[in-house]
Chains A and B, each alone.
Chain A
Amino acid sequence: MSAQEMHSGIVGPRGTWWVPANKQEKRWVVISFVWCMVLFAMMPLWHWKGGQNPAGIRSKTTPLAFLERTERFVTDYKVGEENGVPIVAPPPGADIYLVGRMWAWYPILKLEKGASYTLHLSSIDVNHGFSLYPVNLNFQVVPGYDYGLRVVPNKAGDFRIICNEFCGIAHHAMVGKVVVEE
């Protein structure tokens, strides 16, 4: 307000209220604006320089087509089984396929540390959540959509895939497995 009158927010202003703000308020608005521009710039910057981006290769698919593609991937690179679930070890650079369904991840993946893969994610029923544990890498898995993400494991170990999108009554039992070897 101009310096003629000050009032609370329950009193309607009389006359012209489109007047310059005081110095402190102006300073805070400018600082906030600059900070907002930093926040905005960080995202394109990370696409350019950073190593973790959710861009991926995105395309539409169908549950049937994706399941068939996954079965072919399993047949090509299967190296064993655990409790009836195939363990698949694709060569570095390969396209790998992971199906989310009520209430399991299929198949088990065996990867090499430092190698690059294109990980395709989709669901054949409802939405699921891909959460690589304990790395804490999270992506949404939507039926009808193929999300292809280039991944490079940076550590060897025994990892889990937790489903973190509610997918029905046994949602909490939906856990998959990824093994990364040196």
Chain B
Amino acid sequence: MSSTTADGPSASLIERLTARYRACPVTGLKVDKSAEALIKVNAVAAIVCLLIGVIAATGLVLTRWQAVHLLDAGMFYRFLTLHGLNMLIFFIIFFEMAVLYFAGPVLLSSRLPAPKLGWLAFVLMVLGALTVNATVLAGRADVLFTSYPPLQAHPLYYLGIILFAVGALLMVSLFFAALVVAKREKAYEGSIPLVSFGALTAAIIAVITLLHGAAIYIPTFLWSLGLMEMDPQIYRMVWWALGHSSQQINVAAMVSIWYLLAGLTVGGVVLNEKVSRTAFFLYILFISMASAHHLLVDPGMGPAWKIWNTSYAMYLAVLASMIHGFTVPAGVEMGMRLRGYTAGLFEWLKKAPWSDPGFSGMALSVVIFGFMGGITGVTIGTEQINIIAHNTLRIPGHFHTTVVGGTALAFFAVTYYVLPLIFRRRVAFWKLAQLQPYLFAVGIVVMSMSMIFMGIFGVPRRHWDASFQTSPYPVEMQPVVEVFQATLGLGGLLAAFAVLSFVLIAVVSVFFGKRIQDADFARGGAGLPQGVVKLPAQTHTGPAMEATHNAGAKGTMVLVFIFLACFVLYYFTNWKLLSMLWKVG
């Protein structure tokens, strides 16, 4: 672990520093209390937005389930707007801000410079989120998450998003400043840890993303005031350079959390720093090209532009994800082998701490993101295959397995470690917490698979009435679609229940949970994940390490080949489906 000694030259400085920091009894890290406070408020704000988002989600699944059809049309589209914004922007970005404060000052045991600026950033973000939510709830912004012009919302809506983005940008700058300070004050030796490197990647992508955000929301705000013109196609291109790139902040943050939890839960190792860091770097290079995923069947761009951009310059960002998809489980496997679980191909997997929600959530996140999110995403993001997927339910089916089953689940998982380590409370309702990742994973997978299948049958996304009662011509749906509507409803309700459980666990733990004294950690008991009770060794040397290093990750090799086989099969099945259509070109 990093050094825990204060490094001030004078006695008074040392005194000031000791008041400013506390030593973490589990990890030995020196924690800046102002960074800790900002982690707390951002995490709480994230959970409030998550709650709004999940209430809206419940309304949506109960409407999409045609047999229930709960909301009226106006409410459905309003809830859809609310759901998208609170989940995909507010919840995720507040949480990522907390991740940045953790991966910067806390992991590096360094000082957070200008904490007041952190509070200013937080206030701006809260104001922005409040403004947007108020405008949407007042019915002045029924434009959905994407707000494609010429559909127009009240100017306050765009202004709220700008405020939120400015706050986030300030916060990201503060993270960079913290890294510079840590380096200058020699808080660490050598290079920053991989988890911090991944968070740095997320922060850099966040800057790229937020600049695109400024490039689109400021003109759109002016347009809503009648001060300028707006080209609908250019809006779509620039907006998605924000909309899709922001998903890559999520990917980078999620992968960092995979590495973090692999280390904390089972002592998972980094196979090779060069490979993992290069993979993160590839994200930075190519990620804003993904705007093209949304424009593949648009009239504004030609095939060369579409092919080059949709493939992130020949799929090098996909390569990056495939690398992490190997190195994370392989790191877990080697970590488990180092702890003595060396039998056969899969003893490490069988004996993994599956009742630790930090571990199970991380593992399920890897599987859902890789097997479902990754494979479906690359496939429907193929220029021609997009013809059979664009704006059908396949699209939300896909991204509920990336950003929800992947990112949100990883965020839930890490929270089970943040509660004891940062909030210093036992996790409340521990039995429920141990089940929560499984309930959520099953719910999201069932719901997303239902959406994907319905999309293959041509059911549109963002659509209130799949029975087409108000259509001028009768529309016959396949009978099987009704079955999928019900499974969408049931899966969605299960996932919503799991999210509400998470909110309950987090809120009760933070505000009413049992306080943990330093000595309690080693004693364990309900509400403390096993990695917190006894942190696995994080560094290995000697003959056992060499033997493990030479034996490698055989089990993971088998798993990734199963993954590749599924990928190839799904990908070419879709080409086959496409080839059966009308000729078009």
Contact = CB atoms under 8 A, between A and B. Distances in A.
B389 interface: yes
B585 A52 contact: yes
A36 interface: yes
B389 A9 contact: no
Interface in B258-306: 259-260, 262-264, 267-277, 295-303, 306
Contact of A173 (B1, B256, B277, B470): B470
A8 B190 contact: no
A80 interface: no
A40 B314 contact: yes
A164 B471 contact: no
A144 B541 CA distance: 65
A162 B382 contact: no
Contacts of B478: 134
Contact of A6 (B297, B475, B545): B545
B511 interface: no
Interface string B551-573: 01110110010001001100100
Contacts of A172: 73, 463-465, 468, 470-471
A6 B310 CA distance: 37
B457 A19 contact: no
B585 A43 contact: no
Which of B301, B462, B473 has most chain A Cβ within 10 Å?
A: B473
Contact of B193 (A11, A53, A139, A164): A11
Contacts of A149: 584-585
A83 B310 CA distance: 42
Nearest to A57: B299
Interface in A75-121: 83, 85, 104, 116, 121
A118 to B, nearest CB: 10
A117 to B, nearest CB: 10
A110 to B, nearest CB: 14
Interface stretch (B158-166, B318-326, B345-353, B488-496): B318-326
A9 B259 contact: yes
B327 interface: yes
Contact of A10 (B263, B323, B578): B263
A154 interface: yes
Given A142-B298, A145-B233, A162-B475, A17 B549 contact: no
B387 A134 contact: no
B77 A133 contact: no
A146 to B, nearest CB: 7
Contacts of B227: none
Interface residues on B, range: 35 or more
A118 B560 CA distance: 45
Given A28-B326, A164-B460, A175-B472, A51 B579 contact: yes
B391 A8 contact: no
Given A22-B552, A104-B472, A52 B584 contact: yes
26 contacts: A6-B539, A7-B269, A7-B270, A7-B540, A8-B268, A8-B331, A9-B262, A13-B193, A14-B189, A28-B322, A42-B575, A52-B578, A58-B299, A58-B302, A126-B150, A127-B151, A127-B236, A135-B458, A138-B388, A138-B391, A138-B392, A140-B299, A145-B233, A150-B585, A152-B583, A164-B390
Interface of B: 1-2, 27, 73-74, 77, 107, 142, 144, 148-151, 188-196, 198, 231-233, 236, 256, 259-260, 262-264, 267-277, 295-303, 306-307, 310-311, 314-316, 318-319, 322-323, 326-327, 330-331, 334-335, 338, 378, 382-384, 386-392, 456-458, 460-465, 468, 470-473, 475-476, 478, 538-541, 545-546, 548-550, 552-554, 556-557, 560, 564, 567-568, 571, 575, 578-579, 581-585
Given A1-B270, A52-B583, A175-B471, 19 more contacts: A6-B539, A6-B540, A8-B331, A8-B538, A11-B193, A12-B2, A14-B189, A17-B191, A35-B568, A39-B571, A43-B310, A54-B585, A116-B583, A126-B151, A127-B232, A164-B463, A169-B77, A175-B468, A175-B472
